């Protein structure tokens, strides 16, 4: 399927590892010029080189800590300058640890809110005006299913993700008149370095091995396995295309059938 994305320009935050890297690869393979953003400059630069080599596309590294307003504004301005404008924003940066309320200090709440909730909002605030002026744009927020299936042992992540579900709906309403479509993707258990870190944290809290924690995680998954980053990336590329031109303000779970609700 040709998604007719060639010539578009995208920003993917958290693009050096896991789901973000897979999304950047998918978009670059479709002919999209991609700027990937992350904090670790050497790892980011290596990822950009590898992705360019794998896809033959343009993948540019922009190192940034997206937890402050000034850093987000500077990074988005740098991306617009490097790409000549941005048509697609994939918000993916964020790393909230496991933890229950009593064991989670204010600093952990603040860090997650600044990086993920406000990071997504600030990036959209910086880039959607240009999209709206050109009357074409896509914002895809990688959120997580804990926003609508909250867990006590992941209280900060659940709360931030729930806020992002509401943010995505509201932004979609605001931008629809200008043909800027906004969607959310909720990955379930996806095999990434981020998932491995959460598994180790959850295992330590539960007093069991990481292997046992992973087995418990997939027990509720209809497909009975972890997902792969590429299985999220393919959906994101579709949502960025005109084939998804009547989809906005919706959230899609990518979790192997783990979410059961009407």
Question: What are the catalytic residues?
Answer: 154
Question: How far is the C-alpha of 146 from the C-alpha of 184, rounded, in Å?
Answer: 13
**Tokens read off for 134:** 């050109």
Residue listed under structure tokens 């309403």: 173
Per the CB < 8 A criterion, the answer to whether 145 and 164 are in contact is no
Return the closest-CA partner of residue 191 out of 216, 227, 142: 227
Instruction: For the chain, report the end-to-end CA distance as a whole number of angstroms.
Output: 31
Phi, psi at 99, each rounded to 5°: 160, 145
Phi, psi of 218, deg, nearest 5: -90, -5
State how far the Cα of 53 lies from the Cα of 36, in Å rounded to an integer: 15
Tokens 């002026």 correspond to what residue? 133
Q: Which two tokens stand for residue 181?
A: 């479509």
- Which of 89, 163, 82, 92 lies closest to 126 in space, CA to CA? 89
Distance CA 86, CA 104 (A): 37
Buried b (16+ CB within 10 A) or exposed e, 217-233: bbebbeeeebbebebbb
DSSP summary character for residue 113: I
């Amino acid at each position: 399927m040709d998604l007719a994305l060639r010539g578009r320009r995208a920003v993917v935050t958290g693009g050096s590892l896991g789901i973000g890297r897979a999304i950047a690869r998918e978009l670059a393979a479709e002919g999209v010029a991609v700027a990937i953003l992350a904090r670790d400059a050497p790892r980011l630069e290596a990822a950009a080189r590898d992705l360019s080599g794998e896809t033959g596309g343009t993948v540019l590294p922009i190192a940034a800590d997206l937890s402050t307003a000034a850093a987000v504004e500077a990074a988005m301005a740098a991306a617009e300058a490097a790409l000549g404008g941005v048509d697609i924003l994939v918000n993916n940066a964020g790393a909230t640890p496991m933890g229950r309320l009593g064991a989670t200090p204010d600093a952990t709440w603040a860090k997650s809110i600044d990086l993920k909730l406000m990071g997504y909002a600030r990036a959209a605030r910086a880039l959607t005006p240009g999209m709206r002026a050109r009357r074409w744009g896509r914002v895809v927020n990688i959120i997580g299913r804990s926003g609508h299936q909250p867990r006590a042992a992941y209280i900060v992540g659940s709360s931030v993700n729930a806020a992002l579900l509401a943010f995505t709906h509201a932004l979609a309403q605001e931008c629809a008149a200008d043909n800027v479509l906004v969607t959310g993707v909720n990955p379930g258990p996806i095999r990434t370095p981020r998932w491995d870190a959460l598994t180790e944290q959850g295992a330590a809290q539960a007093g069991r091995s990481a292997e046992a924690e992973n087995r418990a995680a997939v027990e509720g998954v209809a497909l009975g396995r972890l997902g792969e980053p590429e299985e999220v990336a393919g959906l994101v590329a579709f949502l960025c295309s005109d084939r998804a031109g009547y989809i906005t303000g919706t959230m899609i779970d990518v979790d192997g059938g783990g979410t059961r609700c009407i």
